[in-house]
Every structure is written in C-alpha cells, then in structure tokens.
Amino acid sequence: GFPGPQGPPGVKGDSTPLHRSAFSMGLGSKSSVLGNVPIRFTKAFYNEQRHYDETTGKFRCVIPGLYQFSYHLTVYMKDVKVGLYRNNTPIMLTFDQYQTNNVDQASGSVLLHLMAGDEIWLQIYGEENVAGIYGDNINDSTFSGILLYPDKE
Amino acid sequence: GFPGPQGPPGVKGDSTPLHRSAFSMGLGSKSSVLGNVPIRFTKAFYNEQRHYDETTGKFRCVIPGLYQFSYHLTVYMKDVKVGLYRNNTPIMLTFDQYQTNNVDQASGSVLLHLMAGDEIWLQIYGEENVAGIYGDNINDSTFSGILLYPDKE
Amino acid sequence: GFPGPQGPPGVKGDSTPLHRSAFSMGLGSKSSVLGNVPIRFTKAFYNEQRHYDETTGKFRCVIPGLYQFSYHLTVYMKDVKVGLYRNNTPIMLTFDQYQTNNVDQASGSVLLHLMAGDEIWLQIYGEENVAGIYGDNINDSTFSGILLYPDKE
Ligand SMILES: [Ca+2]
Ligand SMILES: [Ca+2]
Ligand SMILES: [Ca+2]
C-alpha cells in the first residue's frame, strides 16, 4: 500500500521560562515610616506577582537572579537617613539633609544578585525613630525593584 | 498506511528578545518647558524606534507590557513641580524647592504596565506656567523609558 | 502500507536572553575622586562579568547593545559637577550645588547604544581638581550599568 500521511509536528523548542518579578510602590495614606522596622509602601503602581508584601514592607525573592532596586524619596521637615536592607543588613545608605523651605529629592539604586528567600526593604537607620521621608497626593516617594537577569538553569 | 511519527522538537529559541521599545531624551536648545502641555525633550540620547515623539513630548506605547520610566531634572531658579502623566492623568508627582545658590537635582522612576496606545509624558502640574526645570550644555535634564517585560503572546 | 514520513520540526522555542553585562559599584575607602581622570568606584555590589575595571574606573563594552547607566551621588562639602563620558567625550552632565548643613543627593541616568570596545565612565568636568562627591560607611555614592537589549545577531 501507500505510505501513511506525514506525522504531527514536533513539540515546541526549549526555552527558559519567562521569569518575571517586579514591583513599584509609593508612600500612600496607609503607608508607615517608623524606626527599627521596614518602611511600608502601600500605594501600588505595579505589584502583579505580589513579591512585595505591603503588610511587612519587604520584597521576598522567589526567582534567583540579578535585580535592580531603586528609590526616590521626598525630603521634607527632617533629614532623611535611609538604608536598603538585605536580610537585616544595611547594604546601601542614603543621607540627605533638610533645610527650611528647601524640600529635596534623594534617590538611590543598586544591582544585587539574590537567592530565593532573600528579603529586601528600606528602613531608617541610626537612632532615629522618625525621618523626613514624605509622601502625599502631590509628593510621591517610591520604591521599585525588577528582575533583570534570571539565573540560568 | 499509518501516519508517520511525530517530528523532532523545534530548534531552541532566539537568544535575543524581539520586542524592543526605549527612549532616552534630554532638554535641548529646542526643548520647551511650558505649563498645561507636555514638556518637550528634543535632545536624543536614544530613540531608535521613535516611540517618543519630540514634537509632542509624548511616548506612545506600541508594544504592550511592563515599562520603566525615569527622569532626572535640574532644579534652577524656581521650584520644580512635575507630574508623570498617563493619558491626561498625573500618576506620579515630584516636588523640589529651589533656594538661591543651591541648584538641586530631582528624580523619579516608576514601573507601569501599558496597553498599546497608552501615552506617557512629563508635565508641570498646578497653576504654574513655568517651572525651574533647566537644561543647557552643562546641565542635563533627562526623561527615559524602556520596555522591560513585553506581554506574553 | 508503510508509516508516513516524520512530521515537521516543532516551532521555535521562546526567546531567552543569554547575553549579560552589568555592574553596580560604590565609592569605597580605596576609591578616588580626582580631576582629569575617571572616578574610581571600588566597592562592588555586583561586577560578575568584570566589565567594569575598578583600577581604571572605566566600563568597557564587550557585548554590543543598548545599556542603561545610572549614578547617585552624595553632595557634601563642595558643589558636584560630573560628566558621564563615552570615549573621552562628556555626553551627559550633572550639576548640584552644596550649601552648609544641606547635604544633597544628585542623580542621573541615560540609555546608550554601545559598540564593542566603547568605554563609559564618570569624571569631574571643568577646571576643578576636586568635587563634593562623597562616600563613607553611611553615605553611598554609586555608579551602575546594565545591558538591556543585546544587538540582534
Ligand atoms: Ca531643594
Ligand atoms: Ca543642592
Ligand atoms: Ca538636602
């Protein structure tokens, strides 16, 4: 007899899964800036994967890889002394002094390779219980992070 | 006869993301900073896809996905009150006060998920017709955006 | 009859970024901020590919493509006048004035398409031999870069 029809196509080629992890949060009316605990940013510009927990103020790494973190803070009423913490260790610190009638903006960014379970947050450092970080309906203070390079599998 | 066997797996995917959209613009001599209209940045550091229109001052989303927008503004002569607008709505606002002999830098960044057709721009907010945003040959003020995660198809 | 021929190959796999180049450096105790030469950032937050050379202060492009560069500088004791240089040409400049008791933060970022061999660094511009860029154990000044879109092959 004749040969049968052609077989079905093969399966789709290999690829690294599309690993995505990102958040972009602002100080909102429910946010809190207190000493000795993570600053809680509660106004979500983007938090689809919910790897940033607005109830704790911490980003928790689910996908290992290289991340970019950045923050932009309104400096108002008091000096700002803030640290980017990784698992209870401050690894980058930003200081901006306030003077009367001279609201400022302070910002920082860094690339960090994270393992699954690593936690990243912003926190006031030093003995201060309050800081001049400010947010309202016309002054945003923001904290963002994004997975740039997932680890190769 | 019977159908043949299934074909072999497809080849491995490209090592290069195919969806690209980015711009990085500065205030130049033809730029304009006026009230009630988008700030027009005309000095191109990068605008290959031309999704930023320097005649209107607007970025128009062609590829849906997650974008990062950032700006760094020289604060000179006057206070700076600027908003990042999405389709006529200010979604992030930055305020920096100027004092004599104290030029400052104000910056902001945010991650936003955009649909095709969404427009993003910077604009002075409030009643002001002028702002202290400044750029010349030794002072850059910039506005950049980049597609980080295109939507899955 | 005989089985039919083998089916066609599967479709191509999804795109996967394979090309990686990134650095994130801070001013450390071995860093140097002098006039007429690149600022040397020696505190590595990330420099896995070692495309940033802490002995020269220069990033050297190995993988052609679109890069994002950003810096965040503590302004202390003196004004800051800094340029982002590409192959001896300053392409972006940041100026922030210092006033007594008013430490500031100045930042900049830009997207640049680079060819292999291009060099990028930060340097004081003008006639100054010193600048107010400051870093210590509680004040970070940082310089970062990342390959966002490698050129298509
Ligand atoms: Ca100010
Ligand atoms: Ca200043
Ligand atoms: Ca200040």
Angstrom distance (rounded) from CA A59 to CA A119: 6
CA distance B67 to chain C (A): 12
Nearest by CB to residue B9, choosing from A13, A23, A70, is A13
Residue B35 gets which letter from DSSP?
A: T
From ligand 1's centre to the CA of A102, what distance in Å? 4
pLDDT at C17: 54
Q: Catalogue the E-assigned strands of chain A.
A: 22-26, 43-46, 52-53, 58-60, 65-75, 80-86, 89-96, 104-114, 119-124, 133-134, 142-150
From ligand 1's centre to the CA of B104, what distance in Å? 6
- Grade residue C79 by pLDDT with cuts at 50, 70 and 90: confident
**What tokens appear for A45 in the block?**
């510009």
Q: Which residues surround ligand 1, an ion (CB under 5 A)?
A: A 102, 104; B 96-97, 104
- Grade residue B153 by pLDDT with cuts at 50, 70 and 90: low
pTM of the model: 0.88
Whether C15 contacts chain A with CB within 8 A = yes
Tell if the CB–CB gap between A138 and B12 is shorter than 8 Å: no
Residue C149 gets which letter from DSSP?
A: E
CA distance A57 to chain C (A): 22
Contacts of A105 in chain B (CB under 8 A): 94, 96, 104-108
Average pLDDT over residues B133-147: 86
The per-residue pLDDT for range A15-30, each reduced to its tens digit, is 545 799 999 999 988 8
From ligand 1's centre to the CA of A136, what distance in Å? 17
Centre a 10 Å sphere on the Cβ of residue C6 and count the other Cβ atoms it contains: 15
Whether A18 contacts chain C with CB within 8 A = yes
Whether B12 has a pLDDT exceeding 80, the answer reads: no
- Grade residue C89 by pLDDT with cuts at 50, 70 and 90: very high
Whether A127 contacts chain C with CB within 8 A = no
pLDDT at C12: 64
Query: In degrees to the nearest 10, what's the CA dihedral of B137, B105, C143, A94?
Result: 160
pLDDT at B84: 96
Residues 53-72 of A with CB under 8 A from C: 66, 68, 70
From ligand 3's centre to the CA of C129, what distance in Å? 23
DSSP output for A27-52 = --TT-B--TTS--B--EEEE-TT--E
Q: Which of C122, C129, C126, C145 is nearest to C41 (CA)?
A: C122
- Grade residue A38 by pLDDT with cuts at 50, 70 and 90: very high
Tell if the CB–CB gap between B3 and A6 is shorter than 8 Å: yes
pLDDT at A140: 87
> Residue A42 to residues A93, B134, C75: CA-CA distances in angstroms?
22, 32, 30
From ligand 1's centre to the CA of B60, what distance in Å? 31
pLDDT at B16: 47
Whether B45 has a pLDDT exceeding 70, the answer reads: yes
Tell me what percent of the residues of chain B surpass a pLDDT of 90: 56
pLDDT at A78: 86
Average pLDDT over residues B68-82: 90
Lowest mean pLDDT among B4-18, B85-99, C22-36, C132-146: B4-18
> Residue B105 to residues B20, B26, C27, C114: CA-CA distances in angstroms?
29, 14, 20, 26
Question: How many angstroms from the chain centroid is the CA of residue B32?
Answer: 16
